[in-house]
């Protein structure tokens, strides 16, 4: 891992007296601004990181890594040749959800309700799901605490032909729904997640899911406050919630050979009409997840990049540590310095220095682009061509 200390960057600029007279914090802020500007149009191999992603059948939205800046690619782990690769088609948000290229695996960068996550549609997955409840039989459901009036809704469901509707009347602050499961045994439950579709009249403080042997012996999700993909719970819409049964909290002794029912507990839910739809246990396939990290700076207390800029957007200039290091090859360092000097010259009257910096910047850009062409993943879309028959629509690049 190649790095250069901030002190070196400052010393390089301070060779010129005009830059030496500029207050240190403004030089550092100009360095950060240069990093932001360059990274707007490109990504670099030293920012590339590999993680893993658990992908499920019929689940399209997934949480991103905390360091995720841009998606590079997703692929299978067990490939032996190019023919085995998943070959994900990176497309736009609209076409991802429209699924216009039905024969290809697709992926997209998704923003929803202010949260960023991954759109992954992996059509080749071999692991299916076991349905716990179709949410179409009212006799399988009971309500207690602040919940009441179990009924069937055939209009507003998201899966199948109907969903379970019930009323919450806010009084004790807890509303509970229990339903019997469609199967009673799963020896491989620790390799699965427990999923459920929930329609919220208002966003509660939290939702807890339980998979139960009985009332005293069960697995619990704990307090869920976000959807599976990491985005916030939303009112007046369907929310997909889930938890990993391998890391679930076990209360008493859960018996995987004697699964009786599941429970959903709403805490802090306002008065209104709520709904539950299909619940399931889903196995996952582990894919390689390559992404570009946000982090460009290795702090003095770390051995890996752990900070986006030398001065964060909410940090004080007093936090500047000149032993922090910029990550990257030397051609990248030269490019950042060239951009930084040009920015600082906006406040300095020195035609000779300006000419020198312009020449330096032009050479740095040329040298950098020749060795490190952009690695940013292109978003590819398709246009529709109907050939006089919308039923037989196909796609043309």
Quick: pLDDT tens for 78-114: 777 776 788 888 888 888 888 866 778 999 999 887 8
Q: How far apart are CA 317 and CA 6, in angstroms?
A: 14
State the Cα angle at 151 between 147 and 153, rounded to 5°: 120
* Residue 394 β-bridge partners: 385
The four Cα atoms 331, 332, 334, 339 give a dihedral, to 10 degrees, of 140
Q: How far apart are CA 357 and CA 360, in angstroms?
A: 5
* Residue 290 β-bridge partners: 50, 73
Multiple choice CATH, 129-283, 2.60.120.260, 2.130.10.10, 1.20.59.10, 3.30.360.10: 2.60.120.260
Residues lower than pLDDT 70 in the chain: 83, 100-101, 313-314, 383-397
For residue 135 the two structure tokens come to 């949410």
**The pLDDT value given to residue 397:** 40
Q: How far apart are CA 338 and CA 348, in angstroms?
A: 15
Q: How far apart are CA 387 and CA 66, in angstroms?
A: 45
Is residue 276 within 8 Å of 30, Cβ to Cβ?
no
**The pLDDT value given to residue 346:** 87
For residue 159 the two structure tokens come to 């899966």
**The pLDDT value given to residue 390:** 53
**The pLDDT value given to residue 388:** 55
Around Cβ 157, how many Cβ atoms within 10 Å?
A: 23
**The pLDDT value given to residue 79:** 74
DSSP 306: -
For residue 211 the two structure tokens come to 């998979």
**The pLDDT value given to residue 227:** 96
- How would you label 284-322 residue by residue, b for 16+ Cβ within 10 Å and e otherwise? bbebbbbbbbbbbbbbeeeeebbbbbbbeeeeeeeebeb
φ/ψ of 110, rounded to 5, equals: -120, 130
**The pLDDT value given to residue 349:** 86
**Sign for the pseudo-dihedral over CA of 14, 19, 24, 28:** negative
Give strand ranges (E) for 181-270. Answer: 192-200, 206-214, 217-220, 237-244, 249-251, 261-267
3-state secondary structure of 115: strand
3-state secondary structure of 322: coil
Which pTM value belongs to this model?
0.86
Residues 6+ apart with CB under 8 A from 208: 220, 221, 222, 223, 224, 263, 264, 265, 267
The four Cα atoms 135, 264, 132, 179 give a dihedral, to 10 degrees, of -70
């Amino acid at each position: 891992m190649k790095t250069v200390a901030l002190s070196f960057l400052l010393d390089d600029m301070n060779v010129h007296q005009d830059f030496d007279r500029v207050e240190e914090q403004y030089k550092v802020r100009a360095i950060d601004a240069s990093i932001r500007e360059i990274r707007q149009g490109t990504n670099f191999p030293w920012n590339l990181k590999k993680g893993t992603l658990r992908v499920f059948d019929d689940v399209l939205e997934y949480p991103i890594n905390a360091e995720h800046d841009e998606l590079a690619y997703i692929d299978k782990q067990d490939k032996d040749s190019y023919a085995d690769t998943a070959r994900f088609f990176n497309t736009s948000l609209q076409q991802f959800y429209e699924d216009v290229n039905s024969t290809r695996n697709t992926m997209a960068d998704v923003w929803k309700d202010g949260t960023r996550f991954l759109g992954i549609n992996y059509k080749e997955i071999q692991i299916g799901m076991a349905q716990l409840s179709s949410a179409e039989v009212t006799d399988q459901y009971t309500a207690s605490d602040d919940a009441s009036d179990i009924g069937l809704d055939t209009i507003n469901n998201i899966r199948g032909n109907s969903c379970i509707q019930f009323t919450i009347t806010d009084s004790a602050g807890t509303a509970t729904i229990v339903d019997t499961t469609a199967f009673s045994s799963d020896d491989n439950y620790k390799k699965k997640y427990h999923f459920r579709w929930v329609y919220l009249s208002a966003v509660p403080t939290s939702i807890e899911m339980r998979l139960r042997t009985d009332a005293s012996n069960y697995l619990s999700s704990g307090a869920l406050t976000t959807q599976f993909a990491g985005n916030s719970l939303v009112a007046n819409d369907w929310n997909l919630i889930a938890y990993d049964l391998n890391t679930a909290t076990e209360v008493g002794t859960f018996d995987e050979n004697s699964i009786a029912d599941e429970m959903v507990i709403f805490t802090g839910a306002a008065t209104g009409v709520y709904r539950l739809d299909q619940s399931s246990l889903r196995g996952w396939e582990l894919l390689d997840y390559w992404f570009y990290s946000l982090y460009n700076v290795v702090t003095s207390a770390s051995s890996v990049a752990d900070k986006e800029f030398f001065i964060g957007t909410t940090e004080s200039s007093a936090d500047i540590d000149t032993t922090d290091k910029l990550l990257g090859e030397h051609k990248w360092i030269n490019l950042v310095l060239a951009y930084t000097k040009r920015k600082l010259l906006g406040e300095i009257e020195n035609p000779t220095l300006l000419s020198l910096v312009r020449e330096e910047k032009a050479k740095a850009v040329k040298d950098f682009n020749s060795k490190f062409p952009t690695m940013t993943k292109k978003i590819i879309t398709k246009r529709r061509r109907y050939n006089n028959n919308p039923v037989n629509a196909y796609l043309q690049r």
